[in-house]
Amino acid sequence: MNALAAIRSLLRTDLKVGRVVPPAGYTARLTIFTSGAMAFLAVFALALSLATGRLADRWGAELARTATVRISAPAGQVEAQTQAALRVLETTPGIARSRALDREEEQALLEPWFGPDLPLEGLPVPRLIEVIEEGEGYDRDGLRLRLQAEAPGAVLDDHTRWRAPLIRAADRLRLLGLAALLLIAAATAAMITLAAQAALAANSQVIRVLRLVGARDVYIAHAFVRRFTLRALAGAAGGTLAGMLAIALLPRAGAEGGFLTGLGFQGAHWLWPLCIPVLAAIVALLATRVAAFRSLGELT
Amino acid sequence: MQRLKRLRLLGKRVAVWTVVEGAQVIELADVSYSYGGGALLSDINLSLGPGSFHFLTGPSGAGKTTLLKLCYAELLPTSGRVALFEEDVRTMDRDAVARLRRRVGVVHQDCQFLDHLSVAENVALPLTVAGRDVAAQASNLKELLGWVGLTAQAESRPPQLSGGERQRAALARAVIMDPEVIIADEPTGNIDWDMSLRLLTLLIELNRMGKMILIASHDLNLIRSAKSEVAARVLRIRNRSVQLAAVDL
Ligand SMILES: Nc1ncnc2c1ncn2[C@@H]1O[C@H](COP(=O)(O)OP(=O)(O)OP(=O)(O)O)[C@@H](O)[C@H]1O
Ligand SMILES: [Mg+2]
């Protein structure tokens, strides 16, 4: 409620408060440009964070749902061990389906490396069983032990080995995106502080007169805070819109694009960038307020 | 002393006049001031009561402006105690100083204005910064501008005013809040005799309404004219100290 009242008092067309400080020159344009540019960058950092987050979730989810059992055994035992392994898998809770790949499918998997005419029959190629999980998944260690007992040549490969670094990379990218957002906010605060200090210094005579006729510090600070907040809001709104437009117009490369085309907003995520102008306004409000009270404190 | 006290009564602000015997509006006790070098003013004892009318004279550079600044808390004494409305200026926080300046109208020697606002807006500035409804006081403002002869210049910008017009505008700004005390630093410095008398008449009238007046001035003729109208006393700065001047100047 308090914040709401503060914002309402800020937006009220209080011409008097706005006008006691003379209309500013370049600091106004500087603030609008800076917050616009920062908002534009923030949109991309946000898109990166959201997209990598999405990617990590998807990789995690997709890869976690499948596993492979590989059976390498002397030629005579392969079929028996495959059947044994399938029986074990059928009775394992958390596994929806399991299915041995047939020769054609194995051929298709190896084709990219060995060409279409590979005579699999003559080679000790292991049999592969595809395992699809359900619910909470299965107990990996328990399954490994049981497979070892029933089919000594069976090896469970649950993809965690190569999934983990991918997800770690995606998570790291998401963190970098968030760090970029924080840096953008800090840089905005720094630049608005500088602009506010310049405006306060340029208006020191005005501030002196206002103090002499009985203006309280909050009144004077408010005049500056109001200005810079509205400017940051306007600039950031423009920058955010431009950034969102740029992302909406990113060329689509279909499935092959993979990660690159994933860099966008999806569904409700389009609402996230709308927070950027509000945050920019809050950053400007706080930065100007601190700068104003500090420079007013140096005045008698 | 008559003093305006604001009491919060049943959630309503009620102005109550209370009489406090012997209270002084401006009190300086053993006050010294220096700008960093030797003492400009030393061991000054002064107490100005409500409703009094004082002139402050002395040669140029004697420290008249400095003494006035001590009297409205723009400067703090190097040593000694300055109390305004019974409150020590050293213990006042910045908001208290701001509130104090609404009770003390000041005409500064180097009348400063906000050049981007009109003369009328500058005169109304104390109302604006105090959050008063300026529109509701429009007729007061107009009357006041008429009093100081600035009706025609109401919409001009301060840089377009002559020196005398600036001083009249400064006086108007000093009295618009209906302050209890009016302090004026050379208010007639750039004004012809007729206009000076007119401003003096305004100040005397304000004094008759119970306001305390303190004017720094070189102008002996002005002081003589005032003394024929009101019981004005003359303070003179000499040898870093303030003395009450002889009855006849
Ligand atoms: N801010 C300041 N810093 C240093 N010295 C100052 C400052 N202001 C005034 N002085 C010095 O203090 C002395 C008194 O100045 P002040 O303005 O009080 O004199 P005054 O009596 O008002 O003179 P005048 O009649 O010319 O207005 C002068 O010598 C002046 O140079
Ligand atoms: Mg002076």
Torsions phi, psi for A40 (to 5 deg): -60, -45
| B249: in domain | no
Containing structural domain, residue B211: 2-244
Pairing of strands A66-71, A154-157: antiparallel
CB atoms closer than 10 angstroms to residue A80: 13
Is the Cβ pair A210, B116 closer than 8 Å?
A: no
Mean pLDDT of the A218-234 span: 91
What is the B186 CA–ligand 1 centroid distance (Å)?
A: 13
DSSP B85-149: TTEEGGG--HHHHHHHHHHEEEE-TT----TTS-HHHHHTHHHHHTT--TGGGHHHHHHHHHHTT
Mean pLDDT of the A283-298 span: 91
> Tell me, what's the ipTM?
0.83
Is the Cβ pair A22, B173 closer than 8 Å?
A: no
Nearest CA to ligand 1 atom 5: B35
CATH at residue B15:
3.40.50.300
Q: Are B173 and B122 spatial neighbours (Cβ–Cβ below 8 Å)?
A: yes
| B153: in domain | yes
**Ligand 1 binding pocket mutation candidate from B64, B76, B185, B190 (most atoms within 8 A of CB):** B64
Mean pLDDT of the A20-30 span: 79
**pLDDT tens for each residue of A26-58:** 778 888 999 999 999 999 999 888 888 887 777
pLDDT in the model for residue A169: 83
Q: Which residues in chain A are contacts of B131 at CB distance < 8 A? A: 219
Nearest by CB to A209, which of B113, B131, B134? B113
Q: What's the whole-model pTM score?
A: 0.73
Average pLDDT in chain B: 85
| B23: in domain | yes
How close is the nearest chain A Cα to the Cα of B112, in Å?
6
How close is the nearest chain B Cα to the Cα of A293, in Å?
11
Nearest Cα residue to A277 out of A248, A239, A244? A239
Query: pLDDT band at A108, cuts 50/70/90?
Result: confident
pLDDT in the model for residue A16: 54
